[in-house]
Amino acid sequence: GALLALNKPPGLPILGRPGDLSLDALLPALRQRLGLAAELHVVKAPAREYSGLVLLSSCYHTTKKLQQFFTNARLKGQYPATYRAITVGVPAEVEGEIRTGLCWQQHGDRAMVVPVPALGRRSLARKDVKSTLTRYRVLGTVGGCALLQLQPRTAFPEQLQVHLTLLLCPALGDHEHSSRVGRVLGVPFFLTPETAPTRTQVLDEELLSRLGLSPRRLHHLPLHVHLQELVLP
């Protein structure tokens, strides 16, 4: 009917400035190619860094109805969006939940999303900090990496990447948060943002070889988080 699903590559933003390449800027050409009479609206889409399902609609009322459904589903504790991620490292538990507060914090000239383990009533009331939850399950492991299923209960920018670092298993291609996972004698531990400046993800020689990458090309490696499934009413 009115719905159209696409598979978005990583790095493509949903919205952009005039003249920039974005999904929104491509919609008129897509509408013309498909011969649709009505404009296309974005119902649900992954963040810029993620790949995966983009749900579009050519009916304004369908768009609003589905967007309200996704909002209500989160409030009811349902998991209508399922992601897959490849992680560097394997979680200690096969499945579980990651709960933490998240907030924006200024570090020098840039703002970063950081975890806040101890949630205070005042900060939650002022909405300085948001309580977040992601359910995860390990689907497979090989060579010190894992394929995870992720179901976010809440929505916060970069939530999945931060939650994976709290598991001490950052997403492959995460050049924003992976530096917060350090190692001593092969044992991972969590570093605070103050002690771990953002840098290109560090991978061992064996993994680089399996990926066919040189250290010089590593910064081109995209984030391996993929919106795999959306459940519709």
Each residue of 2-30: pLDDT tens digit? 899 999 999 999 998 888 899 999 999 99
Q: What is the CATH number of the domain that holds 26?
A: 3.30.70
Residue after which a domain boundary falls, among 37, 60, 78: 78
Helix (H, G, I), strand (E, B) or coil at 6: strand
152 and 98 assigned to the same domain: yes
**Do both 134 and 178 map to the same domain?**
yes
Q: Is the pLDDT of residue 126 over 60?
A: no
For residue 115, the surrounding DSSP H or E stretch is strand 110-116
Do 154 and 61 fall within a single domain? Answer: no
216 has pLDDT over 70:
yes
Of 96, 17, 5, 91, nearest to 56 (Cα)? 5
Q: Do 44 and 148 share a domain, yes or no?
A: no
Of all residues in the chain, the percent with pLDDT exceeding 70 is 96
| Residue closest to 182 by CA, chosen among 200, 195, 163 | 195
Is residue 73 domain-shared with residue 156, that is, in the same domain? no
Shared domain check, 102 and 216: yes
Quote the domain boundaries for residue 181.
83-230
CA–CA gap between residue 83 and residue 11 (Å, rounded): 16
- Shared domain check, 54 and 102: no
Domain end (from 49, 78, 107): 78
* Residues 101 and 216 reside in one and the same domain: yes
Least confident stretch, 13-17, 162-166, 193-197, 213-217: 193-197
Q: What is the mean pLDDT of residues 51-58?
A: 96
Residues 105 and 71 both lie in one domain: no
The reply to whether 191 and 101 lie within a common domain is yes
Mean per-residue pLDDT, 104-132: 77
Predicted TM-score of the model (pTM): 0.91
Percent of residues, the chain, with pLDDT higher than 90 = 69
The enclosing H or E element of 100 equals strand 95-107
pLDDT band at 125 (very low <50, low <70, confident <90, very high): low
Give how many domains the chain has, as a whole number. 2
CB atoms within 10 A of CB 165: 26
User: Are 21 and 124 found together in one domain?
Assistant: no
> Token pair of 183, please?
């190692």
CA distances from 192 to 4, 8, 133 (A): 42, 32, 20
117, pLDDT greater than 90: no
The domain boundary residue, chosen from 61, 78, 95: 78
Residues 102, 66, single domain; the answer is: no
pLDDT bin (cut points 50, 70, 90) of residue 127 is low
Q: Of 229 and 106, which is predicted with more confidence?
A: 229
Q: Which helix (DSSP H) or strand (DSSP E) does residue 60 occupy? A: helix 60-75
pLDDT category at 196 given cuts 50, 70, 90 is: confident
Q: Once rounded to an integer, what is the mean pLDDT over residues 111-130? A: 75
Residue 140, pLDDT > 80, answer yes
